[in-house]
Amino acid sequence: EIVLTQSPGTLSLSPGERATLSCRASQSVSSSYLAWYQQKPGQAPRLLIYGAFSRATGIPDRFSGSGSGTDFTLTIRRLEPEDFAVYYCQQYGNSLTFGGGSKVEIK
């Protein structure tokens, strides 16, 4: 099973700042089959990024994904108030596993 480790656990930032979230896999994720989701309290996860860097429909371009192999990054270029949430990565190249999540909170 591929284990995904997300860091940092919590990121405290102000609106307008840049957020950089990491997702590290215990072994290479084939074909960059990595997705990112956003989850707000009381809501279901929402797909942001798939295939490591492709934005899902309706996702603003301030969200971007990068990486390959075992190291992946989600970047939020300028945080908007609605971006403060928990973010999860998920790999689907070898079975399916989720990372433990990274919380982006208002500083």
Partner 1 sequence: QVQLVESGGGVVQPGRSLRLSCAASGFPFTSYTMYWVRQAPGKGLEWVSLISYDGSNKYYADSVKGRFTISRDNSQNTLYLQMNSLRPEDTAVYYCARVRYPVVVIHYFDYWGQGTLVTVSS
- Which member of 14, 16, 44, 58 binds partner 1 (CB under 8 A)? 44
- According to DSSP, residue 68 is labeled E
CB of 88 to partner 1, least distance (A): 6
Residue 29's alpha-carbon distances to 2, 24, 51, 88, 104, in angstroms, are 8, 10, 10, 16, 25
Using DSSP, state whether 30 is helix, strand or coil.
Answer: helix
Is position 92 an interface residue for partner 1 (rule: CB under 8 A)?
yes
CB of 45 to partner 1, least distance (A): 6
Sketch the per residue contact string, 24 through 43, with partner 1: x for CB under 8 A, - otherwise.
---------x-x-x-----x
* Cβ atoms 17, 78 nearer than 8 A: yes
Residue 44's alpha-carbon distances to 15, 32, 67, 74, in angstroms, are 23, 24, 25, 19
Sketch the per residue contact string, 46 through 85, with partner 1: x for CB under 8 A, - otherwise.
xx--x-----x-----------------------------
Residues that bind partner 1 (CB under 8 A): 33, 35, 37, 43-47, 50, 56, 88, 90, 92, 95-101
